[in-house]
Structure 1
């Protein structure tokens, strides 16, 4: 069988399904070479990262064949974009306490079980503390700004001492041990307390690194050794025409870069030499290409997930970005996503192409405008509410046709004469593969049931593991005004709240939507 790079469309799951149904000869060939065919399909659709990856390394659930693994991945992708007839499963956690402000999910260890495994003593953590977690390390801050680090007890080697918990941690650990034991699933042990000379309000854990930033200095620790490995000074420096970042409101990190999101802009700093490799200005920045999702009309039923049509606009000027709120690196470390204060999303694929001077910021950026949807009854723009899910490689994963949506509508506005041809000549001369995100590659879905503005204003936290979207919210307020005894609450899966019943105790629970709900093989092709 040919390699996935040379097989072309024949390795697409959609094409394979057609071959199996329309050609007895191809059916026999595919069936006789099933392992190789579907392994190539997994590579083609990016279900496996490389040709050296085995099925055991690629899969994260119980399946023994590449064909079944591809089917499950394809169904998962279709569930995310809201184009299947199967309703995702929903479930609520922490309903007894209803006091969840921040949470993290360890899917690999399966620690979200529905029952309490371990906890610190009451009132030990400060109110509304921020929580980070990665590879068994739990980090949260104290009122005075120090960062407490705890580690899963089963990962701790008592024969090796590399950290120094303080007395407060040790006392809290002894109290927890009396209730839950010294080790076991979900139990944690104190690891260390990290301090800085100034207040570091924003921090992020990407194993093995903890990044914490004050308004002018960033500190990076190696968590396993509990040592400070790097310090970056002068975060607000306004050199090379860059305005100061302003108040820092979000940070991210990987092995190569540190991302600093301030109200006035975003900077990506190289860890090798502490130099700024990318600066996005809120006052001057704009995108030439804007993607605007629109709701799909014509149905009275409110699904849990709705696929949205998209319209693309292009212009020479653009809408200036203004203030930033958050910035995240992709898992590959090549791409950057930034959220603006007004709800727009700025996406850059291969941001280092800007640093290398191969593309300008407006050329490299795709902006997704989530600030409004068009009203069905008027030409006025009305603000939308809810959670949106963007799949940035929909075409690569074979989802472009599955969505049932037309390709994005393109509207082009005037741009400077010769700009497009000059850009093409430059790319051709440099022999570059364009890093631009293509709007046709993006699928946008919406979770309309969580659209109550009151619920959204109180949304505490959102997590996005591979199979689920999880939020901490008071979703009981999202029950409709009517009551049907056999209808479940949209998110918790429990009985709907009768309007005339005694009011529920207001509080936050963790609500999960599981998009890996199984679908029968005949519906997955």
Structure 2
């Protein structure tokens, strides 16, 4: 081929190969080795685009620092080493390459919420006692802070593109911006005097670290109503109230859209009404979302998790396009369960891999599905904007493929994953570039959303699920996870708040890891099913993993 085809055509063929194939060609044939060496930059530049590490081959090597953090580019000096680093990071998340634990003591012992910007090299945390800290991701020192008297206890944090948002005691939303990205014209005209004063005090206390990790006041957004949950995906902040959703453009600090009602369908012919019309009577009686647990937003949709349902609203029309009641017994025609059988982790890796056991469900056999007490407590949308991952309170995760298709054929596009005992409480759901992390009282699990969307059940295989889920065995017991209130993902790290007392127990007691594994094995092997009769006459089903 090297002598019969022009080099341009051979390079075009290389663009369709994966990295292991190129590596194999390099090792088995001297002629191919010489060709790859001579065209190394072009080949690996093309492969970086093929694997979607970059948008296209128009991206220059010098642009990588603006796209990836220093941690992601450590040791990267060429397109070849860049591809090798991406492969290593991917393998680390799969438990097939080295990874390690790191603690950040500067964040304090009462962390409530966490946000991470690896590009800027900072960790932002709010506290159960009040206050806000910004710490250096590299050397674990405090860079900037706001006092406990200024930031309320258990403040929720949102962050993106240099904008930091938290809720004030009055229910308003404060917006701050990284000093390094702040316009040179001075404080935003939307900032209030209290913000400016707090900013000046913070600068005086941390002048030696300026500008890294420093923030300046941008705006205070006054909410039209009492609000319950908010989520920021640049440039839009979505804030949920009882029956309203408010969308703010953060760079301009303007309220750009209001969606209402969200509790009851405005149009009786809406997708929401269609779902209720075909649901059991007890589902139809519920009607409203009840209290809001979580919200998410992208360019086209608003996503709302309530006690009784997960709903998706179109931003273009304000209409509900999808409603999934949280009273279903089954979520889709496929149910997967994590099983204990696992791939051994690579030396130096802190993650292990677990297979999934899959079961096809015939939902047409029964028109009545007994009511199960559960609720959606978190939801995230994929980076492509087509798929959803949602977390139920009972350690179940629901995947919805092509959610924009509405209620039609929903069961065929929806699947559920049981991550240990369903009676064990879910705690947090995080997503970054379609990598999903789930924290519950059974442990911490990581998987690919795109792989979960395409997961299939193979009857002849054992185990029968095609999705492999990684787990951090160090976090494997509900007492150790009882204080976890936040979980965040980045390109190279998973960040959570952790009790150092339990960390010390694991480090000093050699038998502790084996005990935790035994407990997890028991939770994934539980086959019990428990039925209780509710006062309403409905059946409460506590599902074991094997159900």
Once residues 3 and 310 of structure 1 are traced to their aligned partners in structure 2, the CA distance between those partners, rounded to angstroms, is 42
Q: What aligned pairs does 1:158-307 form with structure 2 within 5 A after superposition? A: 158-159=184-185, 163-181=189-207, 184-238=211-265, 239=268, 240=270, 241=273, 242=276, 243-284=287-328, 286-296=331-341, 304-307=350-353
Cα-to-partner distance string for 1:372-416 (whole Å, 9 max, x where unaligned): 49xxxxxxxxx97110000245699xxx9xxxxxx986349xxxx
- Greater share of strand: 2
State which drifts further: 27-36 or 230-239. Answer: 27-36
Evaluate the alpha carbon distance shift between residue 153 and residue 9 of structure 1 in structure 2; reply closer, same or farther with a 3 A threshold: closer
Conserved? CA contact 2:441–2:477, under 8 Å: no
Aligned residue in 1 for 2:535: none
Answer yes or no: is the 8 Å Cα contact 1:455–1:475 preserved in 2. Answer: no
Partners of 2:471 and 2:81 lie apart in 1 by 28
Deviation at 1:155, TM superposition (A): 2.5
CA shift for structure 1 position 211: 1.1
Q: Deviations over 1:9-61 (max 9, x none)?
A: 96111222222222233223322322232233323333233343333445622
Give the superposition deviation at 1:302. Answer: 11
Q: Provide the C-alpha distance between the structure 1 equivalents of 2:110 and 2:18, rounded to a whole number of angstroms.
A: 46
- How far 1:299 moved relative to its partner? 6.9
Partner Cα distance (1:24, 1:34) in 2: 15
Question: Paired residue for 1:410?
Answer: 458
Does the 8 Å CA contact 2:441/2:481 hold for their aligned counterparts? Answer: no
Q: Is there any run of 5+ residues in structure 1 with no aligned partner, and where?
A: 374-382, 401-406, 413-437, 491-525
Partner of 1:421: none
Deviations 1:470-504 (A, max 9, x none): 001214314446738xx9x99xxxxxxxxxxxxxx
Deviation track 1:410-454 (CA, whole Å, cap 9, x = no partner) reads: 349xxxxxxxxxxxxxxxxxxxxxxxxx963x4310001011312
TM-superposed CA distance for 1:119, in Å, is: 0.8
Instruction: Tell me the equivalent position of 2:53.
Output: 47
Of structures 1 and 2, the one with the larger relative CO (CA 8 A, separation 6+) is 1
Does 2:24 match 1:18? yes
Q: How does 1:118-133 map to 2 (within 5 A)?
A: 118-133=144-159
Shift of 1:272: 1.6
Q: Provide the residue aligned with 2:417 in structure 1.
A: 368
1:346 aligns with 2:398: yes
Ranges in structure 2 where 5+ consecutive residues have no aligned partner: 1-6, 124-135, 277-286, 423-439, 514-547
Size of the alignment, in residue pairs? 438
Q: Secondary structure at the match of 1:456?
A: coil
Q: 2 CA distance for matches of 1:226 and 1:272?
A: 20
Worse-superposed segment, 186-195 or 1-10: 1-10
* Contact residue 311 and residue 410 of structure 1 kept, 8 A: no
Structure 2 CA distance for partners of 1:451 and 1:29, relative to 1, 3 Å: same
